[in-house]
Structure 1
């Protein structure tokens, strides 16, 4: 396949990880993000391109977008849809930025520059937000605009040692002749069509169900890397905790979690774990707890809002316990990025870019098995 065969527009682009996953078969006509801090990271990794527009999505006009894209990718903000967020839904200030994005897509359609494939990425909480009404409303807008949507819930842990389930809605224009090999017959199929997807589908109006597509994407068979391979022996910018700091961290663990640490110590072997601090209600009282996992999978990276949301590394080796923050390079590796990816000097800025991003290998898998075949299919219709 030749490079730059298909055209892409990337919205809520962050550090460009969706673009990284899509690879060299796609040329980016336009990219947008509101954050100048993220834009600096984007430009550092795509220095020869000038298509990035740093502006509120509601202020972007169709005339700013050149040409005609085959795919529009939008990883719109999840804070109002996440189970860990505020739960205000699709009409709140951050997740509600989907609507000006969609206004742009419909405006391009009105100019004769309609986009045949739209990919939306967000958290699984979109399926149940406002009792499923947000998901249904979003799909209704897609269908009324002439698209056929289908959804998959993909956990990045199938590709990298990080637990990161994300919802992917792939919608195509209704007149696109869909290749049979891309469709599940007769319906849902694991692993991507989870019970949550099936339940959300059952709640949809019949008009949406008629337009729905069950996408058939194979499960990966490659070996997922080890968490040990991600960890840097001596990372930059994140010093190891003192013995007192590590003891304080262990004191925040419940008996269940401290037992995991003691078992790792007793084994005398090397164990690499990750820790999040969380607020739990115990006997009616809120208490801060540190929760550790030694299953060779990191917890889901999140944007840093206060110290409790920063993921920690816990190393147990020959009975000794050490702890520190997860480094930004380690976070980038957990997102599937090569070490050649350029990161900012600021810890918070780098961690923020990674916590808000989409895992690169997941996008690459979708590109190979669904988006690229669909892009080829668009070449057979009159656009």
Structure 2
């Protein structure tokens, strides 16, 4: 059975992607009651365990044995550019250490998973000058796992720019049969030739980590990048929000947003307004030299979605053309579509909770890609051996 456990489950978007490719979740764990409520509405309550992951260390029996895959989209707040930069020493992102302790317990009992998939912001690769990710790889190595790290951007799967890092740890025996093991299965130069074949999958910051830590157990999946999606911002807009909706901003609020734009962004906006077609763009407010600035993006993609911890974190939609323009916030359902999520997925009725649910989630088509290219072949290899 292609079974997995979903740690830091959120509202279940890793499960959404894996379920579409034949995987069965045996346990989902998260500390958030709000996210639990949405998870249960979409997937049922039988396998959801609400609580702090640290508590599972003292109760390992709650964690099913001999499951093929663990997934962990662990908190990014101490790793992201907008966060505390505390890295894995932070109270939020440091919860990854709890998962590693659970894994250690299961390994001693020989009931550990064959594969672990970690997902986080790209800052995971650079936090504490790269020491955090290196320490994580070493811990996996000590438990007899080989590791590959890839970076995938939602911009190739949906209409959102959202680069994320994925660390895949594979038990030694399975890795030897399915990965190019550095300096053993092929020569070092050949290995690096393969490794550097697709820089978008393994950018320079990942190569730098390996170059500086060549003694670690590195493996390589022989995969190609996905073909870029044709989806654009216009495709996810909720057309049921009519012109007379109260969601559209009044003129004074529009003017304040316009005044926060640089001259270059104002010119971009004027170009949209003068178009004979309806065009869409998104705006983030950012602090530049101590001043709040409104930055307009017009390439057909939204910026990276965030949780609404402040007004600047909410993404603003601009609709323009035919000599006019309108402004409102992107809505949670539009956030969900940017994450590649089906419209039948139940979202929170509370708008703010909807933003939280989607803002720190994963892009579903990316998980489907990882399942197709990496996880399913690994499982098939194990099944063939049996």
Q: TM-score, length-normalised on structure 1?
A: 0.92
CA contact under 8 A between 1:29 and 1:66: conserved in structure 2?
A: yes
* Counterpart position of 1:203: 212
Separation of aligned partners in 2, 1:261 and 1:146: 55
| SS at 1:231 equivalent | coil
Separation of aligned partners in 1, 2:239 and 2:283: 17
* Counterpart position of 1:331: 335
Separation of aligned partners in 1, 2:154 and 2:105: 33
| SS at 1:323 equivalent | strand
Moved more, 327-336 or 16-25: 16-25
CA contact under 8 A between 1:18 and 1:358: conserved in structure 2?
A: yes
How many pairs were matched up? 370
2:51 to 55, 59, 72: 55
Gaps spanning 5+ residues in structure 1: where? Answer: none
Separation of aligned partners in 1, 2:312 and 2:222: 38
Deviation by residue 1:176-232 (Cα, 9 ceiling, x = unmatched): 14336999764233120112221222222x321xx1012222222263312101011
Query: Cα 1:151–1:14, aligned 2, differ >3 Å: closer, same or farther?
Result: same
Query: Cα 1:302–1:142, aligned 2, differ >3 Å: closer, same or farther?
Result: same
Moved more, 190-199 or 254-263: 190-199
1:172 to 170, 175, 185: 170
* Counterpart position of 2:253: 245
CA RMSD of aligned residues (A): 1.9
Separation of aligned partners in 1, 2:82 and 2:122: 11
CA contact under 8 A between 2:233 and 2:301: conserved in structure 1?
A: yes
Query: Cα 1:19–1:98, aligned 2, differ >3 Å: closer, same or farther?
Result: same
CA contact under 8 A between 2:181 and 2:219: conserved in structure 1?
A: no
Separation of aligned partners in 2, 1:101 and 1:332: 28
Q: TM-score, length-normalised on structure 2?
A: 0.92
Moved more, 75-84 or 172-181: 172-181
* Counterpart position of 2:365: 361
1:370 to 360, 370, 374: 374
CA contact under 8 A between 2:195 and 2:202: conserved in structure 1?
A: no
* Counterpart position of 2:38: 41
Separation of aligned partners in 2, 1:288 and 1:94: 28
- Equivalent runs, 1:25-104 vs 2, <5 Å: 25-47=22-44, 49-60=45-56, 61-104=59-102
Separation of aligned partners in 1, 2:255 and 2:13: 37
| SS at 1:30 equivalent | strand
| SS at 2:308 equivalent | coil
Deviation by residue 1:214-262 (Cα, 9 ceiling, x = unmatched): 2222222263312101011244997111111111111110111111101
CA contact under 8 A between 2:180 and 2:219: conserved in structure 1?
A: no
Separation of aligned partners in 1, 2:302 and 2:83: 20
1:320 to 306, 318, 324: 324
Separation of aligned partners in 2, 1:178 and 1:27: 24
| SS at 2:219 equivalent | coil
Deviation by residue 1:275-318 (Cα, 9 ceiling, x = unmatched): 1111111xxxx100011101000000001111110011011021
* Counterpart position of 2:298: 294
1:122 to 120, 123, 132: 120
Separation of aligned partners in 2, 1:180 and 1:11: 25
Deviation by residue 1:108-138 (Cα, 9 ceiling, x = unmatched): 2222211110000011111111111111111
